[in-house]
Amino acid sequence: MSAPGQSLKETPLHTLHAELGARLVPFAGYSMPVQYAGGIKHEHLHTRQYAGLFDVSHMGQIRVRGALDALERLVPGDVAGLATGQQRYSLLTNEAGGIIDDLMITRFADHLHLVVNAAFKDSDFAHLSQGLGADVELTSLSQQALLALQGPAAGAVMARLCPAAAALAFMQGCTATLGGMAVLVHRCGYTGEDGFEIAVANHAAEDLARLLLAESEVEPCGLGARDSLRLEAGLCLSGADIDAGTTPVEAALGWAIARKYLREPRSAARFPGHARILDEVRHGAARVRVGLRMRGRIPVRAGAELLDGPGRVVGRVTSGGFGPSLDAPVAMGYVERALAPAGTALNVTIRDTRHEVEVVALPFVPHRYKKS
């Protein structure tokens, strides 16, 4: 959230949000739509069934030239192994093995395109600038908006409007033309559904949004539905589920570590915190991120302590809320590794009353990405 009294920035779609009746709230220094007239539950379920359009222009976009090998010194992912047009989820780590931020990396013919989280985009840019060195050209793409079209109907919408984008598989990107506008499109998103993230010049963002919203399957959606969708999909929120004190292995993000670092010998690993992270890959972390289901309908919120039967604190909730697709409360949090198997019964205190909660496998709702 934004500090009290802080002057809020506006995305290029601010006027459109107001016209569409959005309830605007401060988020990461921006005035952002949390919901529209239909409400969060409606937007959530519409995205699961059809397609929702989200303004994610507050996110940071960065172009990097000359950094294919250099970036591997800052992330545990395989950057050099990316094919042209291929995208990869990765993590910026610190020397203690903690996660500074998560990000998306796409390789194009002459540069890398990065998308980082809004709350950390300035500090991420500084971190990258320092870590990559003077020979690397780093450019903040603040002149570009970013829209996310998410849901099972997104592919059909894009097939009508931008066939080149519709031909992409999950975690691929391309440059294209959409409604006469030059765009950069990735087939990805943070809802667990098929979808696209579309970068476009700020001056064309409203025209693009109106074009997409004119399609019968598409409705505008706000931050509230985006959060409940990503929670059901078991996806981490940077600064909440992952932070500078959380390692990739603790966060159950070991799959984001390049396979070449998992083979012996491991002397090739150069990314910050690699010694601790690779040791946890081999021996396990003391705590693990898990899914949590309440045995009831009262939602549990971030910060709640998780207790074992005798009442010992064994973990903490990091994200929680109501899952509209499941019509039930869902949460994620960290527990001691011995208590991480699905089916483990724990307790949480809500308003001075102890409630039962069960460890469950993630995601809560199956992912439906277009893999081919």
Domain segments of the chain: what residues? Answer: 1-284, 286-364
Which pLDDT belongs to residue 245? Answer: 98
Chain centroid offset of residue 99 CA: 13
Strand partners, 317: 333
User: Using the 8-state DSSP alphabet, how is residue 188 labeled?
Assistant: -
The letter for the amino acid at 65 is R
Question: Residue 92 and residue 32: Cα distance in Å, rounded?
Answer: 26
> Residue 217 burial (CB < 10 Å; 0-12/13-18/19+)?
middle
Pairing of strands 328-336, 287-294: antiparallel
Q: What is the pLDDT along the chain (372 residues), one digit of tens a residue?
A: 545 556 999 999 999 999 999 999 999 999 999 999 999 999 999 999 999 999 999 999 999 998 778 899 999 999 999 999 999 999 999 999 999 999 999 999 999 999 999 999 999 999 999 999 888 999 999 999 999 999 999 999 999 999 999 999 999 999 999 999 999 999 999 999 999 999 999 999 999 999 999 999 999 999 999 999 999 999 999 999 999 999 999 999 999 999 988 876 555 778 999 999 999 999 999 999 999 999 889 999 999 999 999 999 999 999 999 999 999 999 999 999 999 999 999 999 998 899 999 999 999 999 999 988
Which pLDDT belongs to residue 372? Answer: 80
By the 8 A CB rule, do 221 and 21 touch?
A: no
Closest CA to 213 of 6, 2, 22: 22
- Indicate the pTM of the whole model: 0.96
Residues whose CB falls within 8 Å of the CB of residue 112, separated by 6 or more in sequence, listed in order: 63, 64, 65, 67, 68, 71, 79, 105, 106
Architecture of the domain defined by 286-364: Beta Barrel (2.40)
Domain 1-284 shares a fold with domain 286-364? no
Architecture of the domain defined by 1-284: 2-Layer Sandwich (3.30)
| Omega within 30 of 0 (cis) for the link into 329 | no
Question: Residue 34 and residue 41: Cα distance in Å, rounded?
Answer: 12
Helix (H), strand (E) at residue 184: strand 181-186
Where would I find the H helices in the chain? Answer: 14-19, 40-49, 121-132, 154-161, 163-166, 205-213, 223-232, 274-283
Residues whose CB falls within 8 Å of the CB of residue 47, separated by 6 or more in sequence, listed in order: 150, 151, 191, 193, 221, 225, 229
Which pLDDT belongs to residue 316? Answer: 98
Closest CA to 182 of 198, 160, 166, 158: 198
> Residue 147 burial (CB < 10 Å; 0-12/13-18/19+)?
buried
